[in-house]
Amino acid sequence: MNYIDYISIDPNVRFGKPCLKGTRISVYDVLGWLAEGLSQEQIISDYPEVSALSIRACLAFVADREHKYKIAS
């Protein structure tokens, strides 16, 4: 999964938060919906511009970021 195909960071969109390309839906939004218990199908139904692949891209983005930038303890 190459999340770069689905996610962009633009300082003019949502203050530079990572968002799904062509939308104002942030990675944080998608992860929040999943954490609240919404299924992929529910998210896609509510936001047709979101796809199953873009949801996976959000997960891949955060996993990669976690791997690269560990929190100092």
Taking only the tens place, the pLDDT of each residue in 58-67 is 999 999 988 7
Give the pLDDT of residue 48: 97
Closest CA to 24 of 35, 16, 32, 33: 16
Computed over every residue of the chain, the mean pLDDT equals 93
* DSSP 8-class letter at 59: H
SS3 assignment, position 9? strand
Which tens digits make up the pLDDT trace of 34-61?
Answer: 999 999 999 999 999 999 999 999 999 9
SS3 assignment, position 7? strand
**Residues 8, 65: Cα–Cα separation, whole Å:** 14
**Residues 5, 54: Cα–Cα separation, whole Å:** 9
Output the CATH code of domain 3-68: 1.10.10.10
